[in-house]
Amino acid sequence: MVMKFGMSQMVLSKNNGVSFEKMWKQTYRLLKSLDPTEKIIGPCDSWYNHNRMRSFLQFCKANNCLPDIMSWHELSGLSGVSSHIKEYRKLE
């Protein structure tokens, strides 16, 4: 089974005050405790944002909860995909 987080980074904090990062860490640890081979995809943000991605990766590295597969949506068209991938690769 693969767990994918999807486009909830803004909804969570608006609805209940829980940050995406806190929810990510708790869910990540729960899933890995149940099945250490579980593949987790994230953060699956609605769009690529360099500062958001940098912050997310720093949090995950510091809390040992890096996703197995990185993902985000590219809904603005193909024009930004290449530059976003290059930006992300510099963050790895």
For residue 72, list its beta bridge partners.
45
Whether residue 85 is predicted with pLDDT greater than 90 in this model: the reply is: no
Closest by Cα among 70, 47, 48 to 57: 70
pLDDT, mean of residues 53-73: 93
Closest by Cα among 86, 20, 18 to 48: 86
Q: How far does the chain reach from its first CA to its final CA, in angstroms?
A: 25
- Tell which wins on pLDDT, 87 or 4: 87
Could you say which DSSP state residue 49 is in?
Answer: -
Mean pLDDT of the chain: 82
